[in-house]
């Protein structure tokens, strides 16, 4: 993890520029290997397009930006709690780290990949001093790692990479890697259930927290490609799509946009939450690749 020094300007290598995107500051990556957009607000990657591919990330055209807004799409970094938190009463859904501007601490090339590191310090509203760090490796594959480090106070943390994957039609997916897994069904008050021994096909509002920490392959049948999600340091895989009834109530999403994405989220959540002593850290990560 790189230290954060007050306002130290980080040299941007060629192929990386700081621009205004949708009215807020973002790092725009344009290399032979990939194009990408990473907003400083939330350290939020909203676009990753490996060479020769279509964007792997979905982004709502009605998303809000700036001043505490949570961008709808891309990869929201979630923590230090998931959803309403384990107690169910947290004031901000999915934690506060996605609602603050982060600071760029490192920008470099590693082979053909751009490596970007960002940090969020002195933002913990509890006064506990929790710090967040994120590392992005952007090229033909995409790796994202999120680290939460406890400050002076011991703290229980959850974390997730709430990735919105772009698909041709969510009703024509086969999601492999969840077969036979236990899950909590958040559309049924977190009722316990078990996935059949078949690939998951979505047929209605879906909000499931699977006890799966291994590779998941999202076969986008209509789009003719698969997106492979390889998590590390996680315990759960969340699968979410609101379907039209819930999408209609979301002001930052066009009513018909729900067909174009599925969220598959590597996470540490619910009973897998971790207690961090002062200085202790939790890191979760994921690597994505596209297969044709
Ligand atoms: O990860 C699934 C979920 O927690 C759903 O319950 C759904 O509400 C979704 O995230 C979106 O959350 P957001 O706070 O970004 O509107």
In this structure, what CATH number is given to the domain that contains residue 178?
2.70.98.10
Is residue 265 among the annotated active site residues?
A: yes
Q: Domain range holding 196?
A: 2-291
Per-residue pLDDT of the chain (292 residues), as tens digits, is 556 555 568 999 999 999 999 999 999 999 999 999 999 999 999 999 999 999 999 999 999 999 999 999 999 999 999 999 999 999 899 999 999 999 999 999 999 999 999 999 999 999 999 999 999 999 999 999 999 999 999 999 999 999 999 999 999 999 999 999 999 999 999 999 999 999 999 999 999 999 999 999 999 999 999 999 999 999 999 999 999 999 999 999 999 999 999 999 999 999 999 999 999 999 999 999 999 9
Report how many domains make up the chain: 1
The catalytic residue among 117, 158, 219, 265 is 265
pLDDT digits (tens, 9 = 90+) for 218-260: 999 999 999 999 999 999 999 999 999 999 999 999 999 999 9
In angstroms, rounded to a whole number, what is the distance separating the alpha carbons of residues 286 and 272? 17
| Ligand 1 pocket at CB < 6 A | 70, 83, 93-94, 162, 186, 207, 238, 240, 263, 265
């Amino acid at each position: 993890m790189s230290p954060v020094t007050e306002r130290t300007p980080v040299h941007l290598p060629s192929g990386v520029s700081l621009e205004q995107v949708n009215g807020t500051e973002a790092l725009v990556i344009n290399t032979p290997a990939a194009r990408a957009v990473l907003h400083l607000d939330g350290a939020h990657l909203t676009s990753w397009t490996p060479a020769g591919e279509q964007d792997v990330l979905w982004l709502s055209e009605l998303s809000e930006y700036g001043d505490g807004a949570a961008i709808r799409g891309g990869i929201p970094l979630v923590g230090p709690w998931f959803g309403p938190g384990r107690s169910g009463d947290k004031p901000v859904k999915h934690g506060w780290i996605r609602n603050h501007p982060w600071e760029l601490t490192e920008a470099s090339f590693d082979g053909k990949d751009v490596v970007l590191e960002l940090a969020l310090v002195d933002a913990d509203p509890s006064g506990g001093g929790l710090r967040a760090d994120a590392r992005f490796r952007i090229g033909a594959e995409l790796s994202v790692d999120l680290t939460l480090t406890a400050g002076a106070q011991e703290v229980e943390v959850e974390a997730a990479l709430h990735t919105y994957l772009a698909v041709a039609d969510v009703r024509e997916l086969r999601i492999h890697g969840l077969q036979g897994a236990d899950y909590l069904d958040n559309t049924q008050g977190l009722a316990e259930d078990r996935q059949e021994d078949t690939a998951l096909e979505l047929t209605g509002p879906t909000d499931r927290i699977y006890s799966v920490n291994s590779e998941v392959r999202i076969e986008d049948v209509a789009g003719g490609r698969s997106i492979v999600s390889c998590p590390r340091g996680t315990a759960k895989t969340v699968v979410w799509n609101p379907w039209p009834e819930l999408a209609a109530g979301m002001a930052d999403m066009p009513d018909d946009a729900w067909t174009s994405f599925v969220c598959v989220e590597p996470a540490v959540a619910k009973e897998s939450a971790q207690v961090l002593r002062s200085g202790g850290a939790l890191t979760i990560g994921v690597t994505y690749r596209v297969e044709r």
